[in-house]
Amino acid sequence: MDILKVIDLEKSYIDPDTKDHFKAVDGISFEIKANQIYGILGPNGAGKTTTLEMIEGLTDIDGGFAYVKGINVAEKPFEVKEIIGVQLQSNEYFDSLSLKELLILFGKLYENDVDVAELLNSVNLIDKINAKPEELSGGQKQRFSIACALVNKPDVLFLDEPTTGLDPQAKHNLWKLIRHLNQLGMSIVLTTHNMEEAENLCHKVAIMDKGKIITEGSPNDLIAKFDSDNTEKGNLENVFLHLTGRDLRD
């Protein structure tokens, strides 16, 4: 069963220097099965975040279609928001509220009575229940942002570069959490330019560059197809360089 389907999705913006239109997302299509971890990979500016924002109903769709559990995002964005969870690259909270108070507040937005202890325990933050967001480390803030995205018990969780800026231990702790959520039956879509992350987490990936999907498949299949000449074990970073000739941070 496809839990998410994207058909010829497009988004254009005006270049502030040239005043010309350019396509940040240029007619991409893909499908995601239930219970998959699906990665959208590529360098900064590839169109990853814009793609997620259209699917989440946060940005208008200029062309094409996006469906979540069969619901047309453009036609029924609020219905889609009820069944998805969204963790953004950066979050701002009410500084005067504790983690407990924030989760209760977010739950009320969905008319849900949140079991705060259970939710914080699931992201290993139960000992911070009365802390303020400013008292958390970078990794703890990322885990709390995921807790906030789980208050409505979503069918699909969207993570936009969830481990950017984290130290190795915090990164691996977050990977463990993502795997656990997936094992509980949650479908997860994440963007990243960290190819190691994609290899460790994703069942299937799409590599984007300049607004287009240039290839798609499981990490192992893509490595076998595009990095088979490597005498050592291949990797997705080699695949990306082979296909685009670009550094991942370009």
The whole-number pLDDT of residue 232 equals 63
Confidence of residue 237 (pLDDT cuts 50, 70, 90): confident
Helix, strand, coil abundance in the chain, percent, nearest 5: 35, 25, 40
For residue 34, the model assigns a pLDDT of 95
**pLDDT tens for each residue of 45-63:** 899 999 999 999 999 999 9
Where residue 19 falls among pLDDT bands split at 50, 70, 90?
Answer: confident
Alpha helices in 6-137 (DSSP H): 48-55, 77-81, 99-109, 116-122
Q: How far apart are CA 43 and CA 23, in angstroms?
A: 16
The confidence score (pLDDT) of residue 229 equals 61
Single-letter residue type at 57? G
164 vs 107: CA distance, rounded Å: 27
CA angle 84, 138, 153 (to 5 degrees): 20
**Geometric angle at alpha carbon 35, from 112 and 242, rounded to 5°:** 125
Structure tokens at 240: 């990306």
What spatial distance separates the first Cα and last Cα of the chain, rounded to whole Å? Answer: 36
Task: Give 184-236 pLDDT, tens digit per residue.
Answer: 999 999 998 888 899 999 999 999 999 999 999 999 999 988 876 655 667 88
pLDDT of 247 > 70? The answer is no
Q: What angle do CA 145, 150, 156 make, to 5 degrees?
A: 110
Average pLDDT, the chain: 89
Domain ranges of the chain: 2-83+154-244
CATH of domain 2-83+154-244: 3.40.50.300
Q: Provide the residue type at 202 as one letter.
A: C
Strand partners, 21: 14
